[in-house]
Amino acid sequence: MFPSPLALIAEITHRCPLHCVYCSNPIEMAAAQSELSTSEWTSVFQQAGKLGMLHAHFTGGEPLARADLTELIAAARAAGLYTNLITSGVGLPDERLQTLVAAGLDHIQVSFQDSRDEAAHWIAGAKAHAHKIDLARAIRRHKVAFTVNLVVHRQNLDHLEEMIAFIQQLEPERIEIAHAQYYGWALANRAALMPTREHVENALAIVESAEERLAGRIRIDSVVPDYYAKYPKACMGGWGQRLMLINPAGKVLPCHAAEVLPGLSFENVREKTLEWIWQESPSFCRFRGEGWMPEPCRSCERRTEDFGGCRCQAFLLAGDATATDPACSLAPSHHLVESAVSDANSRAISAHSHPAGSFVKLQAQTRDHWKYRTNRE
Amino acid sequence: MAPPNDSSQPRLAAGCRWAPSDKTGTEENRMILFPEGAIKLQGTGRQVLERCDGQRSFGEIIADLQKEFRAADPQKIRADISVFLEQLQRRRIVDY
């Protein structure tokens, strides 16, 4: 029997009012009418609780777009799960926040795109920055843990210190400095998001100094982006090792990107139990153990630490889900990452002008630069 | 952040709580859940945190455990528990 998963990522909707260029949602999103119902999610949480899972991470799209979010959080708590809301903060006035906390919300993580209003508008394709600041103030009036997730990349790493100082005064318990990862929309926009070497090195020093300065008050988490690291990330803690994601239509995945992989058939909670899916399904078993590993992974002493990196990234970059993640310096296809890095360091960083008033005009204005995330029609 | 003093009132930080009792493996362990994970507690660590209810003072908790562990050096108990709580405070699991 394989050990139980630790956490459930409940991707409850792909609907979202924002258009962030770094979004890792699949470009092909689940339609609103295919979404699991309140009672279907309730059954999922009960199964997750019985399976021994500890955390439920509510995400999307924008989870606040679900009108039944309060019921979902209550259902997850009733099933014995710790509840974590990962949100842009758009659609959370104070009364709704109170309701969620009363329903048992343990932790809220709010994304910030920048310290500057206009820059945040560029990245998110919407004017959400002021809302987020209001929300941060409201959160401090409630007994709920608060993390700010700051997404960093080529467009904002030049003023990381300013952004940390800005976030600090919102008084979260934790700050996550999240280097954009290249899946979904972010992969399409990779050239505009890839930091320079200088960005990455400066960020390391700035974060280290901020950690010391804020020790005991605010905890900072940050990971070197894998394109600039020697070894790949242990993606999701390994395929089917610790985490399970359920997408809005009930499909059970080992991560948010796995649907891009050819030749894999993923199960649905409407048809099978979570326990069977975790323990027995071909999709979850596919990349467990070492039998699937090619060299150099198979003989590598790091194989039990990073599992050869990310399967989805291996497929997206090298066309082969069984290959060593190209982010690994030992990967035969490492040149794919090296050339993207080299390109990022030889191009000038393009400057912005003022974002256009409407989203449609903003899309036209940036047409040659990047693609904004858009919902299905 | 300084170590706790006798009048500090240690408690679990916001968003940190004990897992429901059916989540624990055995009678021995209990778990504390926090945003990015969980820690398993047994023995002295567990006994310390169970007393961190925001009412009892650090001084009271130490005195209680010094009585409980009569055979151990009372100064060592104080020092160890102080370090333990400081580490958890840095991780933002405990406040005092």
Q: How many Cα atoms occupy the beta-carbon half-sphere of A86 within 13 Å?
A: 18
For chain A, the residues whose C-beta falls within 8 A of a C-beta of chain B are: 6, 52, 54-55, 80, 82, 84, 106-107, 109, 143-147, 173-174, 215-219, 221
Distance CA A106, CA B45 (A): 23
Coil, helix or strand at residue B33: strand
Q: For A1, which DSSP code?
A: -
Contacts of B92 in chain A (CB under 8 A): 145, 173-174, 218-219
Task: Measure CB to CB from residue A219 to each of B14, B31, B91 and give the nearest one.
Answer: B91
**Cβ contact (<8 Å) for B33 and A106?**
yes
pLDDT number for residue B20: 85
Q: For A158, which DSSP code?
A: G
User: Do the Cβ atoms of B53 and B12 come closer than 8 Å?
Assistant: no
As to burial, measured by CB atoms within 10 angstroms (0-12 exposed, 13-18 middle, 19+ buried), residue B43 is exposed
Contacts of A144 in chain B (CB under 8 A): 14-15
The residues near A149 (Cβ < 8 Å, ≥ 6 apart) are: A86, A109, A110, A111, A112, A176, A178
Distance CA A278, CA A260 (A): 20
Distance CA A212, CA A32 (A): 45
A289 torsion bin: left (phi>0), alpha (psi -120 to 50), beta (else): left
pLDDT digits (tens, 9 = 90+) for B24-62: 556 678 899 999 899 999 888 999 999 999 999 999 999
Amino acid present at A11: E
The residues near A291 (Cβ < 8 Å, ≥ 6 apart) are: none
**Cβ contact (<8 Å) for A215 and B89?**
no
Number of H helices, E strands in chain A: 15, 9
Tokens 């047994």 belong to residue: B42
Distance CA A355, CA A116 (A): 12
Within an 8 Å CB–CB cutoff, is residue B90 touching chain A?
A: yes
Distance CA A14, CA A65 (A): 9
User: Do the Cβ atoms of B95 and B48 come closer than 8 Å?
Assistant: no
User: Inter-axis angle of helices A117-124 and A129-139, to 10 degrees?
Assistant: 110
The residues near A351 (Cβ < 8 Å, ≥ 6 apart) are: none
Within an 8 Å CB–CB cutoff, is residue B91 touching chain A?
A: yes
Q: Mutate which of B16, B34, B86 to test chain A, going by most A C-beta atoms within 10 A? A: B34
Tally of residues, chain A = 377
| Band of pLDDT at residue B7, cut at 50, 70 and 90 | very high
How do beta strands A219-222 and A174-179 pair? parallel
Distance CA A101, CA A167 (A): 22
Smallest CA–CA separation between A216 and chain B, in Å? 5
Domain annotation for chain B: domains and CATH numbers: 11-95 (1.10.10.1150)
CA distances from A102 to A65, A98, A142, A188 (A): 19, 6, 10, 40
Instruction: Give chain A's end-to-end CA distance (angstroms, integer).
Output: 43
Tens digit of each residue's pLDDT, chain A (377 residues): 889 999 999 999 999 999 999 999 998 888 889 999 999 999 999 999 999 999 999 999 999 999 999 999 999 999 999 999 999 999 999 999 999 999 999 999 999 999 999 999 999 999 999 999 999 999 999 989 999 999 999 999 999 999 999 999 999 999 999 999 999 999 999 999 999 999 999 999 999 999 999 998 999 999 889 999 999 999 999 999 999 999 999 999 999 999 999 999 999 999 999 999 999 999 999 999 999 999 999 999 999 999 999 999 999 999 999 999 999 999 999 999 999 999 999 999 887 778 988 999 999 999 999 999 998 86
Distance CA B92, CA B86 (A): 10
Our CA angle for A119, A125, A131, nearest 5°, is 75
Nearest CA among A279, A281, A244 for reference residue A264: A281
The token duo for B34 is 């926090």
**Cβ contact (<8 Å) for B16 and A145?**
yes
Tokens 């990234």 belong to residue: A313
Distance CA B63, CA B69 (A): 10
User: Do the Cβ atoms of A219 and A173 come closer than 8 Å?
Assistant: yes
Tokens 């009569």 belong to residue: B70
ipTM value: 0.87
